[in-house]
Amino acid sequence: MLKAVATRVRRGFWSVAGVLLFVLSVAAVQARQSPSTDGVASSITLAELPPQGRETYAQIRTGGPFAHAKDGTVFGNRERLLPANQRGYYREYTVRTPGLRDRGARRIVCGGSRPRVPDACYYTSDHYASFREIVE
């Protein structure tokens, strides 16, 4: 009889542990997929940007010229990592990566109604998977 009770207790423990593990994994997936109102993990100073990033930032402030046709086009923020704003608020710019022939993964995304004087700019080195706000 005591052995049967111990077996039921063990089964109950593992059932509860399994349910808890499932709930925690679902919560982790939802947290990763939920839109963030402030998905910017940290900031980066202008001096910390790679030289090509500083060059792109200076081009943004002067209105170009830009090397790629996509530079200055609307960034949709589909990842929802940047603060929510109306469509057309954000624009993206390529940060050249030495040794690559294509645009690479590095970008600066700026928001505001005046492209040369943005409200805020963000740097991503991993093609929109994360952003760091650029501070001067």
Take residue 118 and report the two structure tokens written for it: 């943005």
Query: Quick check: 128 and 81 in contact, CB under 8 A?
Result: yes
Dihedrals φ, ψ of 25, to 5°? Answer: -70, -40
Catalytic residue among 48, 79, 92, 133: 92
* Options 55, 127, 133, 136, the catalytic residue: 127
CA distance 120 to 122: 7
* Residue at 94: amino acid letter: T
Is position 68 annotated as part of the catalytic site? Answer: no
Q: Does an H or E element contain 133, and which? A: strand 132-135
Kindly list the catalytic residues: 92, 127
